[in-house]
Amino acid sequence: MRTARATRLRDAVYGQAVGDALGVPYEFLGRGAFEFEGMIGGGSHGCKAGTFSDDTSMTLATCDSLRELGRIDVDDMRERFVRWWRRGDYTPDGVCFDIGNTTSSALRSGHGGEGVRDNGNGSLMRISPLAFVDATDEEIRAVSAITHAHEISCQACVDFVHILREAAGRPETLRASLVERYASTSESDLSTGGYVLGTLEAALWCFARTTSYRDCVVAAVMLGEDTDTTADVAGALAGTYYGIESIPVEWLEILRAKSLIESCLF
């Protein structure tokens, strides 16, 4: 029988994997330049329908490290990220087809980017598993810093982990606060080009302005540009809040590598 934490982890990971896979074929398309057609294939990467990207692969590597070791070990996580990058571990097809510049540089050099320009969303997109273990804020920052070591990225990861914990434990309080926070924020105020704070704000806005998992991740995809990561982060939150049973069955059926996902959960 799954513990409450294990159940919520599964909700979050499937939530983000589905959001990620929905966003992959629309990545790099501008806002208003496309229509949402569901979980399809194609796009700039030419992937099969249901294929998730680096966002979910790195999340699974994080999960697998926690599952196997029972603790946070940034060196082990880094090694798993390298195996994903170099060998295609934690991917549906054994191929890493998408990796950010800051992430690749960090994995090559062995230390995360510390400059202001290194504040992409590459650690935010994979940080969700830490919401379901007893990770301290400093440990969350250390996991972010494997690839993204600037304080802005590290703090964004801390903030998101706390939000996910609230979604799992006090969902109505969280929802009310986010609805109030984004009541006057319009779509034109949002940035989805890959900046970590822009991605986090866009994901929270999608959650606050919708009332179902489906509508949340579709709203995230429709914001354009970095569609897979915006929908990944929004999907982690919506999955935690609404549960895996809220994810449309047809999307779960199309999602690829579900046995891989299950093998990494703890």
| Residue 116: CA count within 13 A, CB half-sphere | 0
In the predicted model, what is the mean pLDDT of residues 8-23? 98
Note whether 90 and 114 are within 8 A (CB).
no
How does pLDDT run across 213-261, given as a tens digit for each residue?
999 999 999 999 999 999 999 999 999 999 999 999 999 999 999 999 9
Six-digit token pair at 191?
Answer: 């940035």
Token code pair at residue 132: 């379901």
Average pLDDT of the chain, as a whole number: 97
Measuring CA to CA, which residue among 218, 170, 242, 245 is closest to residue 34?
Answer: 218
Angle between helix axes 4-23 and 54-69 (nearest 10 degrees) is 160
The per-residue pLDDT for range 85-101, each reduced to its tens digit, is 999 999 999 999 999 99
Please report, in angstroms and rounded to a whole number, the separation of the first and last CA atoms in the chain.
12
CATH assignment at residue 72: 1.10.4080.10
Q: What is the pLDDT of residue 184?
A: 96
Q: How many domains does the chain have?
A: 1
Q: What is the pLDDT of residues 157-200, one digit of tens each?
A: 999 999 999 999 999 999 999 999 999 999 999 999 999 999 99
Res. 80: pLDDT tops 80:
yes
Q: Give the residue numbers spanning the domain of 48.
A: 4-264
For residue 1, pLDDT beyond 90: no
The vertex-235 CA angle with 162 and 227, nearest 5°, equals 115
Say how many C-beta atoms besides its own lie within 10 A of residue 179's C-beta: 13
Using alpha carbons only, give the angle 110, 112, 117 rounded to the nearest 5 degrees. Answer: 140
Print the SS3 string covering 112-162: CECCHHHCECCCHHHCHHHHHCCCCHHHHHHHHCCCECCHHHHHHHHHHHH
Query: Which pLDDT does position 2 carry in this prediction?
Result: 80
Q: What per-residue confidence (pLDDT) applies to 73?
A: 98
